[in-house]
């Protein structure tokens, strides 16, 4: 299957890759789970001939519906089903209506799964004509290595630039839960904290307005780039990094949607870094995963997300703006 997608469901416009099952905006939870391919993972003992008894500290995970092998994990690994994570995310919105956006499974046998919900009333930053859609993401896997992740992400519509609500890990905008024997208990705890994350968008909106009203020079941005994209001692890497550093400067002056009063601001600097990480930074395929699949994971949970968090912290520090703790 192209782009590493096994099964997928979506609401609204067909995704760029043309895959997935369309659903109505008011689709119920059961319809989403079925269309997204959220199967049940089951445990089975592991044997190694000529041993008669099962290996005591290992177990294997399989799809209950198709019988396909997923992974071998330790005995202490606790299975948390895709549907459990999805329900946690939906219920965590509390009194806020969460509109289903996309959901599906990734990998050859659907080893990893996600659900993306959209909160109503997009954010608007002072002086920025584009809107910021507010999303909540649940992601996990039955591959033995992928932790349960609950986090908030945001897309600036003018360029589909997933900037991430990067108020910093300290404010609890993101949770990683390992598949241990207490995983389900901590999933409940994360759900309660996740409700506070929804309220965190209000803090991010205030911060965004502050950034949009703070003048920021190219010299200041170059100082930020030195922190976020430092040149290594290995001079062989310099041309690649210099190209990226120069691209960020270019986007600061002429990035998509950066016009009017937000040009030359701290907000514009954050958008320049974000646009580079999400749309221009080189992303390599790994173990047969297509580049676009790797890019999406990087934007949501990988290197691109980390770079944007670093950039926001560096921009705020340079502009002497105090981030919420």
213, containing H or E segment: none
Dump the DSSP string for 140-207.
EESSSSPPEEEEEEEEEGGGTEE----S-GGGT-EEEE-SSTTHHHHHHHHHHHHHHHHHHHHHHHHH
In a domain, 325, yes or no: no
| Average pLDDT of the segment spanning 72-85 | 90
Does 27 lie in the same domain as 139? yes
Number of structural domains found in the chain: 2
Compute the average pLDDT of residues 95-104: 74
Q: According to the 3-state scheme, what is the secondary structure of 296-313?
A: HHHHHHCHHHHHHHHHHH
Mean pLDDT estimate for the chain: 83
The reported pLDDT for the residue numbered 284 is 64
Q: Under DSSP, is residue 243 helix (H, G, I), strand (E, B) or coil? A: helix
What is the pLDDT at residue 294? 67
30 and 86 both lie in a single domain: yes
Mean pLDDT over residues 97-113, rounded? 85
**C-alpha gyration radius of the chain:** 21
Task: State whether 122 and 150 are in the same domain.
Answer: yes
The span from the first CA to the last CA of the chain, in angstroms, equals: 43
Q: How confident is the model at residue 117 (pLDDT cuts 50, 70, 90)?
A: confident
Question: Considering the entire predicted model, what is its pTM?
Answer: 0.75
25 and 132 co-located in one domain:
yes
| Residue 323 maps to a domain | no
Token duo for residue 165:
């609500």
Average pLDDT over residues 57-70: 95
Percent of the chain with pLDDT over 90: 35
* DSSP labels, 27-91: --HHHHHHHTT---EEEEE---TT-SSPPTTEEEEEETTT--EEEEEETTPPP--HHHHHHHHHH
Position 273 pLDDT exceeds 80: yes
Domain of 80, in residue numbers: 2-46+56-198
Higher pLDDT, 38 or 183: 38
pLDDT confidence of residue 169? 40
Phi first, then psi, for residue 62 (nearest 5°) are: -135, 155
Query: Would you state the pLDDT for residue 63?
Result: 96
């Amino acid at each position: 299957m192209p782009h590493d997608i096994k099964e997928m469901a979506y609401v609204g416009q067909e995704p760029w890759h043309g895959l997935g099952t369309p659903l109505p905006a008011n689709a119920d939870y059961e319809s989403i789970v079925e269309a997204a391919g959220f199967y049940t993972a089951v445990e089975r003992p592991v044997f190694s001939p000529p041993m008669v008894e099962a290996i005591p500290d290992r177990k294997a995970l399989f799809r209950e519906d198709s019988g396909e092998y997923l992974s071998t994990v330790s005995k202490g690994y606790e299975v948390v089903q895709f549907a459990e994570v999805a329900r946690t995310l939906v219920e965590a919105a509390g009194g806020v209506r969460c509109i289903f956006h996309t959901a599906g499974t990734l990998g050859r046998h659907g080893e990893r799964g996600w659900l993306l919900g959209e909160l109503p009333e997009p954010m608007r930053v002072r002086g920025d004509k584009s809107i910021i859609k507010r999303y909540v993401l649940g992601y996990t896997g039955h591959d033995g290595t992928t932790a349960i992740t609950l986090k908030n992400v945001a897309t600036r519509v003018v360029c589909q630039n997933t900037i991430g609500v990067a108020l910093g890990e300290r404010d609890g905008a993101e949770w990683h839960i390992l598949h241990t024997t207490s995983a389900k208990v901590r999933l409940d705890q994360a759900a309660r904290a996740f409700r506070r994350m929804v309220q965190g968008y209000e803090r991010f909106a205030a911060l965004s307005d502050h950034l949009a009203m703070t003048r920021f020079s190219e010299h200041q941005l170059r100082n930020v780039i030195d922190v976020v994209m430092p040149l290594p001692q290995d001079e062989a890497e310099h041309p690649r990094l210099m190209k990226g550093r120069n691209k960020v400067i270019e986007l600061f002056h002429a990035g998509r949607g950066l016009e009017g009063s937000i040009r030359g601001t701290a907000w514009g600097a954050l958008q320049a870094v974000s646009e580079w990480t999400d749309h221009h930074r080189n992303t390599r395929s790994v173990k047969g995963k297509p580049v676009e699949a790797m890019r999406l994971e990087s934007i949501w949970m990988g290197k691109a997300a980390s770079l944007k968090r670093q950039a926001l912290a560096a921009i705020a520090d340079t502009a002497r703006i105090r981030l919420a703790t």
